[in-house]
Structure 1
Amino acid sequence: MTIQINTDKILSGEKRRCDFFTSQVAEALQRFESHITRIEVHLKDENGKKDGFNDISCLLEARLEGRQPIAVTNQADTTDLAVAGAINKIKTAIETILGKIQKH
């Protein structure tokens, strides 16, 4: 499973922070690792450098073997909260998809 982190020019994409998010995603989706080929994380600040409510957006896209990619978004006040919320959403979506596959 390949994990790629993308940030806009306003949010910092420093290596230590990207490594932290990569480990969070890998740990949360570890049990689905055999079904996932790639995860892309897109982080952006919705309103630029100004402070705001829920202005950090995280889009998580998962590519499952033999299926169309699925994507979820989450907005929060901080990057950490945005990523954590998106991880929870993608985990639920993958569980639903794989559950339906196993029932058939």
Structure 2
Amino acid sequence: MVGFPLLGSTVKGKFIDEDNPEDWDVVALIRYRSVKDMMNMMIEMSETDLSQHKWASIEKTHVFPAQIQIALFLPKILVTLIFLILASIPILIKRTKSK
């Protein structure tokens, strides 16, 4: 199971109270189904050359201003709305044909 993106954002300022500021372009917040899923992802990531970046992100926490571009905090509600919209299409077509 891969994590579900909750938030995608571009950075709109520098780190708050940071002695050695670093330049970041994009930030993402990922929701994992469980701690086990997150740990499995970390184990799989450790076998790639990208593992150093994942461990660095876990070791450091930064605070900086950001502007939300994607916010899917309630994936179940989003999926439900999509299904409701798709289910209503045949009903609307039937009503249109009966007039």
Q: More relative contact order in 1 or in 2 (CA 8 Å, sep 6+)?
A: 2
Task: Report if TM-score (shorter chain) is over 0.5.
Answer: no
TM-score (norm 2): 0.29
TM-score (norm 1): 0.28
**Structure whose residues are more often strand by fraction:** 1
**Structure whose residues are more often helix by fraction:** 2
Q: Bigger radius of gyration, 1 or 2?
A: 2
